[in-house]
């Protein structure tokens, strides 16, 4: 197998710059509590998804902003 290293002078896009808004929630399945996280590029996308989760009666919905890693 031949591998060739390619040097790219562009700086890579940071995750927290691309998806600055996050949403987490929990869901009960039997005795288990499952935690989920979703990341969004815009605040209004996150708000619409949070409203959708509330209609599904999921609990512990929290909005947050991503931090630099």
For position 25, what pLDDT does the model report? Answer: 93
What's the CA gap between 44 and 32, in Å, rounded?
31
The angle formed by the CA atoms of residues 16, 57 and 61, to the nearest 5 degrees, is: 25
pTM: 0.71
What's the CA gap between 20 and 16, in Å, rounded?
5
Model confidence at 52: pLDDT above 80: yes
Model confidence at 11: pLDDT above 60: no
Instruction: Tell me which residue has tokens 């509590």.
Output: 33
Express as a percent the part of the chain with pLDDT over 90.
Answer: 51
């Amino acid at each position: 197998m031949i591998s060739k290293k390619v040097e790219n002078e562009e700086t890579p896009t940071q995750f927290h710059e691309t998806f600055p808004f996050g949403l987490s929630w929990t869901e009960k399945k039997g005795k288990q509590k499952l935690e989920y996280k979703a990341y969004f590029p815009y605040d209004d996308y996150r708000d619409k998804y949070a409203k959708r989760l509330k209609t599904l009666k999921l609990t512990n919905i929290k909005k947050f902003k991503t931090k630099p890693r």
